[in-house]
Amino acid sequence: MLKLTKKIDYGLMAIAYIAWNYEERVVNTKEIAEAHSIPVELLAKILQRMVKGGLITSLSGPKGGYTLSADPSRITVAQIIEAVEGNLYMLNCSEEPGGRCYQIDRCHIRTPMQRLEHRILDMLHSTTLEELIEKFELRPV
């Protein structure tokens, strides 16, 4: 089954929450964790990965927290997934030239599966955070 990890779920929830508050105020880890029932320690690690990935900015101090590094229309779902989990590839044979597939010489579905993977990746690269929070009507809890 093709499934997004819990870290990706949490990362999408967190960055959507940050986006709802974009240009109004910063939000802190505890606030996001409480709003979505996410373990604080895990959320802190996910947020740090998104900071390192350049998607959000961390502001220090007593009124510190997180804000988006760019407008929600410029952040894609693919960027969020890559920041949280790394590489987006679904197929072992897509990860690197030659891949790690032991069936490569006998595989008859490689090309159609790679086409499918490219379509999914294209969708992830073209769907923005803005679309997630507006078009799909995601709202803060």
Which CATH number characterizes residue 128's domain?
Answer: 1.10.10.10
Does 13 map to a domain?
yes
Q: In terms of Cα–Cα distance, which of 29, 122, 31, 138 is closest to 77?
A: 122
Domain containing 78: what range?
6-133
Does 141 map to a domain?
no
Determine phi and psi for 107, rounding to 5 degrees: -80, 125
Give 128's DSSP letter: B
- In the chain, the number of structural domains is 1
Residue 79 has what pLDDT?
A: 97
Does 17 map to a domain?
yes
Q: Which residue has the tokens 């790690």?
A: 100
Does 140 map to a domain?
no
Extract the tokens encoding 28: 């802190």
Give 24's DSSP letter: T
What are the Cα distances from residue 141, in Å, to 2, 71, 72, 133? 27, 21, 19, 12
Does 1 map to a domain?
no
Answer whether 0.95 is exceeded by the pTM. no
**pLDDT (tens digit, 0 to 9) for every residue of the chain, 141 residues total?**
467 899 999 999 999 999 999 888 999 999 999 999 999 999 999 999 999 999 999 999 888 999 999 999 999 999 999 999 988 877 777 655 555 677 777 888 878 888 998 999 999 999 999 998 886 555 555
Spell out the alpha helix ranges (H) of the chain: 6-20, 29-36, 40-52, 77-85, 92-95, 110-126, 129-133
Does 139 map to a domain?
no
